Structure formats: structure tokens, C-alpha cells
Amino acid sequence: MTRVLVLNGPNLGRLGVREPDVYGTTTLGDLAALCRDTGRRLDLAVEVRQTDDEAEMLRWVHEAADERVPIVLNPAAFTHYSYSLRDALAQRTAPLIEVHISNPAAREEFRHTSVVAGVATGTIAGFGMMSYVLALQAVAELVAEGQAAD
């Protein structure tokens, strides 16, 4: 079974109460259960984490690179400005799928730029919690094809 880290950035611990008109009413706990259940169906051992701390996120990304673990990442606000996260992600050794619950391109202009997209295998955005399911499906396919950090 392939281990996958599902990493979530700042404010995603507030899912369910934070701007439900944008992010829905699903909680982080609900999202974690969805990801783990999806992972089981895809033969993936999914571990879901959330942090508001950029340094902690960097440690997790380094861990994944060192252990060749695929990442599904919702960088949240880090998406738009965290060059340290981008540099850490550039060291990846396994697939990296950037996910967003909403569609950043359809929101405020400052959300239109992702500094991490250029080092990701791909980006899935705008499908609500289904973005995570689609990302895990992509990871499963990439792992089955034997792709590493393409």
C-alpha cells in the first residue's frame, strides 16, 4: 500500500465554519475521513494533516521528499506567496498534486497566482471536496504507472 500525505495549509482547520458559501459545511474531520476512505479504495494509506504554521508545513514536505511519499497539497494562503514552500516542493521525489476547494481563478485577483503550481505534477481546483478525491485518483494512477517526480 502506497503512503500518501494530504497536507492542508492555513485556516483549513476552520472548514465547516469558515466562509461556508465558498468552502461548504464539510469539516476538516469529514474531509480527513473522505480522504482515508478514498485512499482505502485506491490501495493508498492516506494521512491527513493541517497546519497554520509554514515551518511545520516545510518539515512535512521535507519528510515526504526524503521518504519518496506522494503529496496531495492544499497550500491555502501559502499558494500565493510562500516561496519557501515552493522551494521545498521543488525537492519532491514523488507525485505532487495541488488542490483547491474553490476555483482561485474565479476569485479575487490576488488568488490567481500560485507560486507552487510550477513545481506540482498537476493542479485540481474548484470541485469542492471532490478535488481531493480526484487528486488521490491521480496519485493512484501515477503510482501505478511508476512515475516519481515527473
Terminal-to-terminal C-alpha distance of the chain: 21
Active-site pick, 81, 83, 100, 112: 100
φ and ψ at residue 6, rounded to 5 degrees: -105, 105
Quick one: which H or E segment has residue 60?
Answer: helix 54-67
Q: Is 80 annotated as a binding residue?
A: yes
Largest CA distance in the chain: 40
Q: Give the number of other CB atoms < 10 A from CB of residue 11.
A: 14
pLDDT band at 140 (very low <50, low <70, confident <90, very high): very high
Cα separation, 143 vs 150, whole angstroms: 11
Q: What is the pLDDT of residue 146?
A: 86
Domain annotation for the chain: domains and CATH numbers? 2-144 (3.40.50.9100)
Our answer to whether residue 23 is catalytic in this structure is yes
pLDDT band at 150 (very low <50, low <70, confident <90, very high): very low
Residues 49 and 6: beta-carbon distance below 8 Å: yes
pLDDT tens digits along 67-123: 999 999 999 999 988 999 999 999 999 999 999 998 876 566 766 689 999 999 999
Mean pLDDT of 24-29: 86
Q: Is 87 annotated as a binding residue?
A: yes
Cell numbers 485556516 correspond to: 11
Our answer to whether residue 132 is catalytic in this structure is no
